[in-house]
Amino acid sequence: MRGNWILAPVALFALGAFVACSSSSSPGSSCPTTSSLCTGKGKCIVVCPSTSETDISGDFAQVSTGDTIVFEPGTYQFNMQLAIGAADDVTVVGAGMGKTILDFHGQAQADDAVFAQGPMKNLTIESLTVKDSPGNAFKTLSVTGMTFKSLEVTWTALDHTDGAYGVYPVQDTDVLVEDCKISGASDSGIYIGQSNYIVVRSNEAFQNVAGIEIENSFNADVHDNYAHDNTGGILVFDLPNLPQEGGHNVRVFNNKIENNNTENFAMTGDIVSIVPAGTGSFVMANDHVEVFGNTITGNKTAGFGIISYEVSQQKFTDPNYYEWPRHVYVHDNTWSHNGYQPDLHSQVGALLLTGASAYPTPNHSVPDVMYDGILDPSMMQDPSYPNPMIICVHEPTASAVCNGHFDKLDPNNPDLSKTINCDATQFACMLPPLPAVSWSGLPAQ
Amino acid sequence: MVRLARAVGVAALVGLAALGGACDDSGTVAKCFPGTAGADKGAFPSSLSAYCMVTLQNGTVTANDGVTPYDLQTPLFSDYAVKYRTVWMPPGTSVSYVEGSRFEFPVGTVITKSFGFPADLRDTNAPVKWIETRVLVHRTTGWKGVSYRWDDAQQNATIEPGGEVLDFTFVNTNGTELSPHYLVPSQAECPKCHANNGSVITLGPWANQLNRDFTYPDGTKENELTHWSRIGILEGAPSPSQAPVLPSAFDPTTGDVASRARAYLQANCAYCHSEGGEARTTGLDLGYDETGSMQLGICKMPIAAGKAGEGQSYDIVPQHPESSILVYRMESTAPAIAMPEIGRSLEHFEAVELISDWINSMPATNCQ
């Protein structure tokens, strides 16, 4: 509850109507004491829209091992974040997306709506909607066994005032994001940061700046998602100056990556603000990435990019950071109608347009697969060994598969038509399939 | 007198179990001694009085007998709240002096910090309305904290694990009216600041923060390190002249702009922005001893920061505070942009000026 507190300094001590705070965490009288959703081994705490915010926050703060917090259907208003106490095997569950709605538009402080900081094991959050949080909807740090299931996250403004991330596990292990529906994030709908062992499956991400991001993470399977109408669909990348670097072993498969043409509405200082509208998917500065079985269609700037951090044109000083993609295998995806109108608000989009005359594609659209060709200088650029980063592409149905040779661009007058090479045989190699990501406790789909 | 109180404390500890309930109800002075509520297990008592750490009378919070009040060179900013800090250690125990890190207090230690607002910051005698007293108890399983909310009558403070946001007004030193959305943190928000690598920690009591004079309740002024040593709760401390001193951020006699700015960042940012802190995921380290310019944010791109800036590209652009995300996020009061993430809903104008002065004093650098 927000106290109707002092309105003027003179009233500072005169106002006696202020309601003393309750220390009880018992729910309101109209609230049932149990629920069919109470399945954990610990206590089950049922809360209702009539339960005070302070009491709900207190319930979150005081959870013990095995506890379940059940949200009855209805809309809940919050002006502070809900921070989950560090306990193992905790479940927070609602009546379903659109049925239990946690509305944070009035939140006065903090960067997250729902927040957990471990170390803790096996936290599950499922079946509810979080709406209009000023910051991230869900952030979890240092959790092993983090499950986000059947969550809806929405923002209604669809501009940079929306929160940054919908679902944001960072430095977590064994992360499952499943059956969620995320829209409106001013950075990324589903953002996996600096985590290890990750499955992101069967989610829908739309009208975000980035639909799904896998950043500085290891061992991720991203599959059967529907990423549409974002600025960029599915982005896999590594960034410098972070505690966990060297993103690797990422599989992106069987996703639908469609019509990601929403104008970029990120705040300008945000790194994703440089992503051109109309980006299907890209891999930046990762090692061992396999992309297959996806349907990539209708993305106006480009279908798929394989790029170095240099393309971001951001300076960095970090001896541990490796800025070039390597061991990338793109094969057997389904392509159509990409690259037909590069986003000229973006430097990358404008650069791609300079190659149009040389693109061997219908209507000179941007080739479905574009590699920037920027090599680690320590790799010998021996003509007899033209593919030192081991970028392998087998895409007979793509409009074209090209090496843009950004490394050979004239910095004063960059013109891709002078550097591009669309001979697909340069990528004619294969990499062994990456192993499926799994861990003890990962439920079958 | 102190020794007597500590001796009584021993007696109280022996009767620990029996005392908990008695204290809970009335906080009767005769039955209640510091530390009795700091039992190692179980729920926190519902009333602050059970701890017998502090007494609030006539608008003033005072430390009970055997409880040591203290202050810091550069405190955390909390919407201009005034604060009163106390520490109590079990009789016969003490904390070992250490430099360059926090003091590691013995199990059983209780620390309190009370937050209040005078109606008018221009009037040093204005009565203070106390809002909450936060308690940290060092159990064998680690530190655990919770806040107690003072009632309107300023008689009792009652446990509030869920916290709340309070809207009110007060008058700032320049006569303007300020309206914070003051946050009483939930129990699970304590580790938003008080955590390092998953453990709950204390933040204020470092040697360089305590190496300062304090006027004790009996009117004597004494260096805090000296005082703590003299009453036996601190072991191994050198004389104050041999110990480090953190500059006081807004006292120009204590250091140059750069060192005072760094002291402010240490107290207000480094609990998260340091190795093991929650913001370790950002690569920005604002600890007082950090020497790396990239770690300090100079020409550093914000990474994994969400809403980092509005047109600004770097955390700090030397000589350009207006282009520095650090300043932008200190000026902002919008949730998700404002830094720190919690505990500040008002701009700390003096701090923005200090940090801006520091950035202006840096040698020019082209970050591009």
Which residues in chain B land under pLDDT 50?
1-30
Q: How many of the other CB atoms lie within 10 Å of CB of A415?
A: 14
Quick check: A219 contacting B, CB < 8 Å?
no
Chain-centre distance for alpha carbon A285: 17
Please list the alpha-helical segments (H only) found in A132-223.
Answer: none
Model pLDDT, residue B42: 74
* pLDDT score at A12: 35
Specify the DSSP class assigned to residue B56: E
A-chain residue closest to B152, CA distance: A16
Asked if A170 is an interface residue toward chain B (Cβ–Cβ < 8 A), one would say yes
Tell me, what's the pLDDT at B307? 64
| Length reported for chain A | 445
With CA atoms as reference, report the closest residue to A371 among A431, A329, A418, A415.
A329
CB-side neighbour CA atoms (13 Å) of B300: 26
Q: What is the Cα–Cα distance from B189 to A24, expressed in whole angstroms? A: 18
Q: Please give the Cα distance from A358 to A340 (Å, whole number).
A: 14
Q: Environment class of residue B236 by beta-carbon count within 10 Å: exposed (0-12), middle (13-18) or buried (19+)? A: exposed
Annotate A392-415 with DSSP letters as a single string. Answer: EEE-TTSS-EEE--GGGS-TTS--
Q: Is B18 helix (H, G, I), strand (E, B) or coil?
A: helix
d(CA A422, CA A401): 6
Cβ of A80 within 8 Å of Cβ of B183? The answer is: yes
The pLDDT assigned to A294 comes to 98
Closest Cβ opposite residue A79 in set B165, B191, B342: B165
| B162 contacts A57? CB cut-off 8 A | yes
Say if residue B38 is exposed, middle or buried (CB neighbours under 10 Å; 0-12, 13-18, 19+): buried
Kind of pairing between the strands at A68-71 and A44-47:
parallel
Question: Where do the H-state alpha helices sit in chain B?
Answer: 2-14, 16-26, 190-193, 207-210, 224-230, 257-268, 325-331, 349-361
pLDDT in the model for residue A376: 92
pLDDT of residue B5: 40
> Furthest-apart CA pair in chain B: how many Å?
68
Residue B180 contacts A where some CB pair is shorter than 8 Å? no
Residue numbers of chain A with a pLDDT score lower than 70: 1-29, 380-381, 383
Q: Which residue in this structure is represented by tokens 């709240």?
A: B81
Give alpha helix (H) positions in A62-203.
none
In the numeric block, the tokens 């209702």 are attached to A48
10 Å CB burial of residue B220 (0-12, 13-18, 19+) is exposed
Report the half-sphere exposure of A43 (CA within 13 A, side-chain side): 14
Among A53, A108, A267, the residue with its CB nearest the CB of B335 is: A108
Beta carbons of A213 and A191 less than 8 angstroms apart: yes
DSSP string for residues in A294-361: -EEE--SSEEEEEE-GGGGT-----TT---S-EEEEEES-EEES-SSS--TTSHHHHHHHTTGGG--S
The residues with which A2 forms a beta bridge, in sequence order, are B165
Query: Are B308 and A267 inside 8 Å of each other by CB?
Result: yes
- Which of A188, A189, A202 has its CA nearest to residue A254? A202
Bridge-based pairing of strands B181-184 and B164-167 is antiparallel
Close Cβ partners of B176 (under 8 Å, ≥ 6 residues apart): none
Interface predicted TM-score (ipTM) of this complex, two decimals: 0.86
**Amino acid type, B14:** V
Cβ distance A118 to A147 under 8 Å?
no
Mutation to test the A interface, candidates B79, B156, B168, B367, most A Cβ within 10 Å: B168
Instruction: Please give the pLDDT value at position A317.
Output: 79
**Interface mutation vs chain B, best among A7, A12, A82, A196, most B CBs within 10 Å:** A12
Contact flag B188-A3 (C-beta cutoff 8 Å): no
Q: Do A241 and B335 touch (CB under 8 A)?
A: no
CA distances from B326 to B284, B336, B338 (A): 10, 14, 10
Residues 6+ apart with CB under 8 A from B18: none
How far apart CA B138 and CA B180 sit, in angstroms, is: 31
d(CA B329, CA B324): 9
**pTM, 2 dp:** 0.89
- Nearest 5°: the CA angle B351, B357, B358 is 90
C-alpha dist (Å) from residue A336 to A82, A379, A403, A425 = 44, 34, 19, 21
Place of tokens 């299907």: A280
> Checking DSSP bridges between strand A136-154 and strand A90-93, what pairing results, if any?
unpaired
Give the residue on A whose Cα is nearest the Cα of B158: A23
Q: Residues of A with CB below 8 A from B186's CB?
A: 57-58, 60-61, 80, 83
Q: Supply the pLDDT for residue B368.
A: 80
